[in-house]
Amino acid sequence: MALTVERRRTNRAPYLLLIPAVGILLIGMGYPVVWQAITSLQEYGLQQQFGKAAPFVFLENYIELATNASFWAVVAKSIAFCLITAVATLAIGLGLALLMNVVGKAPRLILQIALLLAWSMPVVAAMTVWIWLFDRRRGAVNYLLDLIPGVDMNRFNWLETPTTFFIVASVIVIWMSVPFVAFSSYAGLTQISEEVMEAAQLDGANGWQRFWGIILPMIRPVIAIVFLLQIIWDLRVFTQITMLQDAGSKSSEFDLLGTYIFKLGTKAQDFGMASAVSILVLAITIVLSWFYIRSLLKEDEA
Amino acid sequence: MRARTARTIFGALAIVIAVIWVFPVYWMVNSSLLPNTTLLSFVPTFVPFGGSLNNFTAALADGEFYAALGMSVSITLIAVFFCLIFAFLGAVAISRFRFRGRKSFIIAVLVVQMLPAEGLFIAQYKMVASVHLLDSVIGVSVIYIAAVVPFTIWMLRGFVAGVPADLEEAAMVDGLSRFGAFMRITFPLLAPGLVASGVYAFLQAWNEFTVALVLLPSEAAQTLPLWLRGFVQASATRETDWGQVMAASTLVAVPVIVFFLIVQGRLTSGLVSGAVKG
């Protein structure tokens, strides 16, 4: 008798414990995803916002997107921006982790504090500083570059053309995300045992061989996860692009997917199309992160 | 000898990189202390000589600062508080019980973390507007809790799993109830995990921009990041007053930086244990 009561209680307990978390997720995320998915199949423009019923147009929004050259331009730019920024972040972050591993205690601590300071800057505050650094007339970047003989950066407007605009955006994103990559990789490096490295050295492996043969395979799981997170984050940069547009030009040439959706939703008031783009971005993100999710689940079973 | 030279070179390189990396942070504080006349010269001033707090006084004179501070504090406190309770219960459920649907829940928790805020903001706006909670603390808090709960569950799960269930069972043999055993034995051992996830939730909520931008359309209801952006925009209609803008940025950033530096050891160990311990 006592046993059955006990069993019934343990069976129900996990579900009761999950109610608050599941409830808030359904409200905050679940409902919006479903609404967004349905709206992406509807014509939902300005008239619908004033109460007119939204007719189902099924895949029309998606077809319109697929045949819209400016949308593909934004997709291409976003993917290029994301890949370049994520790869650079990973390379620099890994480089700094290796550097932390070989230097003495004092330089390591100085480097770590510098990275922590950059990491902890709120994104909006970081953006205002960077915009000031890249200011056309009195920014420190132009001033310092101007000091290099033969370089004339006087009043160079970084935010004027898309290429230099995205270079600035990429530099800022890299600056902000390298600390995370560096610290995670460094944590991975410290797990490698001294003995293995010494044995390799005794066997005559040089620095490169030790890097490719031992270090890289051992920290590969950390790198895989960190790289994936970077791709996911860099695909949807929003705050950085919005604030750079505040300072420069708001023209659509300077849009990535995040700001593109935002403008469709707020300025054009075309919720149907904006939802369709959102769903596509969600789909891309889930496809990209599936690998990450699977690797985490494997660890869960282990 | 050669190894020693290499070590010195690498050490120097590390310090050069540290200087480059910290420069923007330094530049923000430096510019915030300089009078505008100095900032208006075409040669940047690299050392804050003649520093004054005038820019801070001017930035604080913007009446909306205190309202935004109040808004940020309330939203963050509510989000952290509920997030910790919800995530704690969820973490206990998935690491102490085997039940049907456990795996689906874990997958859901992971997938939700990947959803970009920019992909959901229209629906969230419509939803919050329909219950008349735009420009309110509650509307934003609900979305923040939902956004942060998955990761905090993930993080806390590592900590709960790190406390062996045997300890609880031993306490139960000694006559404590299951709940009593949990509260007396496991809960105290989870304190570091709760701190780490609380810090994570705090940083997310305090710094968040996109959701706040959408759900707080009125000028009168702003969080600090929105206030800072508005301050920059207002200043840019004239010649940008960089001294004041940098003082405003410093006001928003420095508390976070100080807080982050104090707790970062806990935070990183929490992140690592969440990711590694499983």
From A163's Cα to the closest Cα of chain B, the distance in A is 22
Query: In whole angstroms, what is the distance from residue A272 CA to residue A269 CA?
Result: 9
- Give B128-185 as a DSSP string: HHHTT-TTSHHHHHHHHHHHHHHHHHHHHHHHHHHS-HHHHHHHHHTT--HHHHIIII
Return the CATH number of the domain spanning residue range A82-255.
1.10.3720.10
3-state secondary structure of A56: strand
The encoded tokens of residue B31 equal 């510019």
Note down pLDDT in tens along chain B; length 278 residues.
577 888 899 999 999 999 999 999 999 998 898 887 777 776 777 776 667 888 899 888 887 899 999 999 999 999 999 999 999 999 999 988 888 889 889 888 878 877 777 778 889 999 999 999 999 999 999 999 999 999 899 889 888 888 888 888 888 888 888 888 888 888 888 888 898 888 889 989 999 999 999 999 998 899 999 999 988 888 776 677 888 999 999 999 988 888 888 877 766 666 555 444 33
The encoded tokens of residue A209 equal 């061989």
Disruptive mutation site among B94, B106, B115 for chain A (greatest number of A CBs within 10 Å): B115
Helix pair angle (B242-276, A105-120), 10° resolution: 110
User: Nearest Cα to A114, choosing from A181, A179, A70, A55?
Assistant: A179
Closest-approach residue (CA) in chain B for A27: B146
The answer to whether residue A7 scores a pLDDT higher than 70 is: no
Disruptive mutation site among A103, A143, A257 for chain B (greatest number of B CBs within 10 Å): A103
pLDDT at A138: 84
pLDDT at B1: 56
Please count the other Cβ atoms lying within 10 Å of the Cβ belonging to residue A199.
12
pLDDT at A76: 93
Higher-scoring residue by pLDDT: A154, A22: A22
CATH class for the domain made up of B55-276: mainly alpha
- Give B214-250 as a DSSP string: HH--STTS--HHHHHHHHHHHHHTSS--HHHHHHHHH
Please count the other Cβ atoms lying within 10 Å of the Cβ belonging to residue B216.
23
- CB contacts of B55 in chain A (<8 Å) are none
Average pLDDT for A192-199: 81
Domain residue ranges in chain A: 31-67+270-302, 82-255
Q: How confident is the model at residue A6 (pLDDT cuts 50, 70, 90)?
A: very low
* Tens-digit pLDDT profile for residues A61-107: 999 999 999 999 999 999 999 999 999 999 999 999 999 998 999 99
* Tens-digit pLDDT profile for residues A98-143: 999 989 999 999 999 999 999 989 999 999 999 999 998 888 999 8
B178 Cβ contact list (under 8 Å, min separation 6): B168, B172
The encoded tokens of residue B44 equal 């940047």
A18 to B236: CB separation less than 8 angstroms, yes or no = no
Residue for token pair 């010269």: B41
The answer to whether residue A54 scores a pLDDT higher than 60 is: yes
Domain residue ranges in chain B: 2-54, 55-276
Q: How confident is the model at residue A12 (pLDDT cuts 50, 70, 90)?
A: confident
Nearest to A238 among B114, B118, B250 (CB): B118
**Residues 12-41 in A contacting B (C-alpha not used; CB under 8 Å):** 13-15, 17-18, 20-22, 24-25, 27-29, 31-33, 35-36, 39
Contact (CB, 8 A) for B209 and A123: yes
Average pLDDT for A203-227: 84
pLDDT at B275: 47
Question: Is the minimum CB–CB distance between A302 and chain B shorter than 8 Å?
Answer: yes
